[in-house]
Structure 1
Amino acid sequence: MTQRQFNVTGMSCEHCAASIREEVSEVPGVSEVAVDLAANAVTVYGTDLDDERLRAAIVEAGYGVTDPVAA
């Protein structure tokens, strides 16, 4: 299993976190999504993760995202 972590802008509440979890969970290969509101971070666990698709899912949920953080 691999892991990717993204810094996300615009999150402020649990509704934001739920929206991101829902969108990112639909990306192929994703098995778990953890959102840390205080750190403005999203950690994704799974196999054969595609950073571009993960980033696009976060943007689709309505939030900004920066490059993956080394995890």
Structure 2
Amino acid sequence: MVNTTFQVQGMTCGHCVSAVSAEVGAIAGVRDVQVDLATGQVTVNSEQPLDVQVVRAAVDEAGYDVVDA
């Protein structure tokens, strides 16, 4: 298993957390998604390393942005 953390901009409420969790959780191979609203961090547990562009697209679909490190 691989844990990867992404910084997501624009989340402000529980609905935001649910939207991001649902979209990222739908990516093939994702086992778990943990969203920390206070810090904007999204930690994804997956079977293999994820393509950052796929995660970026899922977060964008939810209406938010992955912040480049």
What TM-score do you get using the length of structure 1 for normalisation?
0.88
CA deviations 1:20-71 (Å, max 9, x no partner) are 000001101100000000001100001122221111101110001123x6xx
1:3 CA drift (Å): 1.0
1:51 aligns with 2:43: no
Gap runs ≥5 in structure 1: none
1:5 CA drift (Å): 0.6
Runs of at least 4 residues off by over 2 Å = none
- Structure 2 counterpart SS, 1:56: helix
Q: Hey, what does 2:33 align to over in structure 1?
A: 33
1:1-71 matched pairs, under 5 angstroms: 1-48=1-48, 49-67=50-68
**C-alpha separation in 2, matches of 1:15 and 1:32:** 18
Percent identical residues: 46
Amino acid at match of 2:62: A
